Amino acid sequence: MKIRDMRESDWPDVYQLIEDNMFEMQRALGLKWHRDNIIRYFKNRSILVATDRNKFSGFIAFHQIDDYHFIDSLQVAKEDQNGLVGFRLLKASLLRVATSPEIQKICCCVFDNNTAAKQMYFSVGFTELSRSDGILKIEIPVSHLTERFGLQRAIKEVHNLIQ
């Protein structure tokens, strides 16, 4: 599996994966679906994509705000779920945090009806902050996740390179 920065040519795959994974969940919560708004929102985010033998497997979209690394979306193709794609994308985005020592927490929102996503996040140590209208806000300290993924050494090397 290869994880890389998103290219402009990846937009059709990214959007299709969002629709495949999220359309029914959003509809079940009574939320509206606006293709153009979704694309516009994600165009302002950092995005890493996962491919396996030139097949699009998933992506993670994120941005930094204050002392948070905020995960806007972590999507994995249905046939690749319950494997390691989501964890690898999460780790790859976490390595990006290594260049921002002011980032202390990782935060995201997940639909309460998205059992697979909740299981993945809670299995690595995320905790629930709040719950509103079917959406959970969850977080984990960066230090806990770097320890869980064994990334302390890699992050230390990044810090040494940028000093």
Which H or E element spans position 155?
helix 152-162
Retrieve residue 29's tokens.
């919560």
Least confident of 1-15, 26-40, 94-108: 94-108
Give the model's confidence band at 134: pLDDT under 50 very low, under 70 low, under 90 confident, else very high. Answer: confident
φ and ψ at residue 106, rounded to 5 degrees:
-110, 130
Total Cβ atoms within 10 A of residue 6:
18
**pLDDT, position 32:** 87
Q: Which residues pair with 109 in a beta bridge?
A: 137
Mean pLDDT, residues 114-121 taken together: 89
- Stated pTM of the model: 0.87
**pLDDT, position 154:** 66
Residue 152 CA to residue 119 CA, distance in Å, equals 24
Which H or E element spans position 162?
helix 152-162
In the sheet with 55-65, reading across from the earlier edge strand, the strands are 2-5, 46-52, 55-65, 68-76, 105-111, 135-141, 127-132
| 88 has a pLDDT exceeding 70 | yes
Sign of the alpha-carbon torsion through 41, 107, 118, 92: positive
- Please state which of the four CATH numbers 3.20.20.10, 1.10.10.10, 3.40.630.30, 3.30.70.3190 is assigned to the domain occupying 2-162: 3.40.630.30
Pick the closest to residue 118 from 102, 105, 131, 101 (CA basis).
Answer: 131
Q: Give the relative orientation of helices 152-162 and 85-97 as an angle to the nearest 10 degrees.
A: 30
- Judge residue 35's burial from the number of C-beta atoms within 10 Å of its C-beta, 0-12 exposed, 13-18 middle, 19 or more buried: exposed
Q: Where are the domains of the chain?
A: 2-162
Give the model's confidence band at 156: pLDDT under 50 very low, under 70 low, under 90 confident, else very high. Answer: low
Q: Which residues pair with 64 in a beta bridge?
A: 69
Per-range mean pLDDT, top range of 23-32, 63-72, 148-157:
63-72
**pLDDT, position 96:** 80
| 98 has a pLDDT exceeding 70 | no
| 48 has a pLDDT exceeding 90 | yes
- Top pLDDT among 101 and 20 is at 20
**pLDDT, position 158:** 57
